[in-house]
């Protein structure tokens, strides 16, 4: 190699090093700006939520003295999309539908209690509690509230729900999972666990500490939920399953969850619960378990109509679980329209 070529190569290497250095500097600046923005949104919503004070405590249900262990209520609430605005859905409608869902859970529980005790409840919160801002093209045209308002409204709705439900059970636990709409920036910009849903859960956990309830959350894309002696539920959001061409991927859901059930997660479970698709489905698994896909309180999703050519009635889910055996004893899709 000639001296001239060596000098050219050395110059090119130095230019590449300089370009890499500038790129890393710009990336660090962008991350700092994003971190500052996220921290400001979280602290603003948290301070606003804490400043609102605590509501008057609700009277706690009397202990059930019957000898039977009975059942446990398993409540799946998910996909609030707070901040979404369509012709039939906005923040006010979301609040009223979750209030209706809470009342129906209590009413259906009383029906079960006419036969046997239901002392305990587990509330699974499945993610996409906010609409976000940058999840899909054109989303901004259907957003009525920015991240601060979305975060504040979700914490207010969840706190009211948890307080009312926990007063109607002797023992109450909350299990949280985050969704894709709560992510900050486009997919891959930041770690998936940097999520508005997780901020909301943290604020609500602080707000309800006086209730002395159980609280489970982590950075994992799933939560294993223990219910009674033998029942184990896998809670995941649903965006882990690809929807090719916009179709609701029933086969993909079964395939993915079956792989997880084979030991990939290192944990066994009876059934799986997810949201994300805004549709109600029950899918059988080869191992005898099932995947319960829960709907959303949202209605009239323009994007879903255009992309998936489908829409669904607003709903959430309530199951009752045998305290001693790994089985669902009663299943309710709770319609909210």
Write the pLDDT tens digit of every residue in 228-277: 999 999 999 999 998 765 567 899 999 999 999 988 888 899 999 999 99
Q: Is the pLDDT of residue 187 over 50?
A: yes
pLDDT at 307: 47
Q: Percentage helix, strand, coil, to 5, in the chain?
A: 40, 20, 40
Q: Do 49 and 294 meet the contact criterion of CB atoms below 8 Å apart?
A: no
What is the C-alpha R_g of the chain?
23
pLDDT at 4: 60
Residues of the chain above pLDDT 90, percent: 55
pLDDT at 7: 60
pLDDT at 248: 78
**Global confidence as pTM:** 0.84
One-character DSSP codes across 132-181: -SSSSTTGGGGB-S-HHHHHHHHHHHHHHHHHHHHTTSSEEEEEE---ST
What are the tens digits of pLDDT across the range 10-43?
A: 676 666 666 656 655 555 554 555 566 667 767 7
What mean pLDDT value characterizes the chain? 84
Q: Sheet of 171-176: strands edge to edge?
A: 214-216, 171-176, 118-125, 71-77, 315-322, 328-335
Q: Is the pLDDT of residue 143 over 70?
A: no
Closest CA to 177 of 135, 213, 124, 131: 124
pLDDT at 132: 72
What domains lie within the chain, and their CATH numbers? 52-335 (3.60.21.10)
Q: Do 182 and 82 meet the contact criterion of CB atoms below 8 Å apart?
A: no
Q: Is the pLDDT of residue 282 over 80?
A: yes
CA distance 321 to 8: 72
pLDDT at 139: 47
- Out of 48-52, 266-270, 291-295, least confident range: 48-52
CA-based torsion, 150, 236, 77, 294: positive or negative? positive
Between the CA atoms of 125, 131, 136 and 139, what dihedral angle is there, to the nearest 10 degrees?
A: 160
- Out of 158-167, 216-225, 270-279, 298-307, least confident range: 298-307
Q: Do 100 and 151 meet the contact criterion of CB atoms below 8 Å apart?
A: no
pLDDT at 85: 83
Nearest-5° angle of CA 279, CA 316, CA 288? 70
pLDDT band at 180 (very low <50, low <70, confident <90, very high): confident
């Amino acid at each position: 190699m000639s001296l001239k070529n060596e000098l050219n190569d050395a110059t090119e290497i130095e230019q590449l090093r300089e370009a890499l250095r500038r790129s890393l500097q710009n990336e660090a600046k962008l991350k700092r700006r994003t971190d500052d923005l996220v921290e400001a949104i979280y602290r603003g919503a948290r301070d606003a939520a804490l400043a609102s004070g605590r509501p008057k405590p609700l009277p706690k249900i009397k202990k059930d003295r019957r000898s039977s262990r009975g059942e446990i209520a398993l409540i799946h609430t998910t996909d609030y999309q707070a901040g979404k605005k369509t012709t039939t859905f906005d923040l006010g409608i979301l609040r009223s539908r979750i209030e209706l869902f809470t009342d129906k859970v209590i009413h259906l529980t009383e029906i079960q209690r006419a036969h046997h005790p239901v002392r305990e409840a587990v509330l699974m919160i499945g993610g996409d509690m906010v609409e976000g801002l940058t999840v899909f093209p054109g989303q901004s045209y259907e957003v009525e509230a920015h991240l601060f308002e979305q975060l504040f409204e979700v914490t207010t709705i969840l706190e009211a729900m948890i307080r009312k439900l926990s007063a109607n059970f002797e023992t109450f636990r909350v299990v949280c999972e985050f969704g894709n709409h709560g992510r900050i920036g486009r997919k891959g910009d930041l770690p998936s666990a940097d999520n508005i849903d997780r901020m909301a859960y943290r604020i609500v956990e602080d707000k309800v500490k006086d209730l002395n309830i159980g609280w489970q959350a982590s950075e994992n894309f799933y939560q294993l939920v223990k219910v009674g002696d033998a029942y184990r539920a896998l809670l995941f959001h649903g965006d882990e399953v690809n929807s090719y061409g916009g179709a609701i991927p029933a086969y993909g859901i079964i395939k993915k969850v079956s792989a997880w059930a084979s030991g990939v997660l290192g944990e066994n479970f009876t059934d799986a619960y997810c949201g994300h698709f805004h549709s109600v489905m029950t899918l059988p698994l080869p191992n005898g378990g099932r995947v319960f896909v829960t709907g959303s309180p949202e209605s009239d999703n323009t994007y879903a109509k255009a992309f998936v050519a489908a829409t669904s009635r607003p709903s959430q889910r309530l199951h009752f679980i045998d305290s001693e055996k790994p089985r669902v004893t009663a299943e309710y899709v709770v319609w909210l329209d």
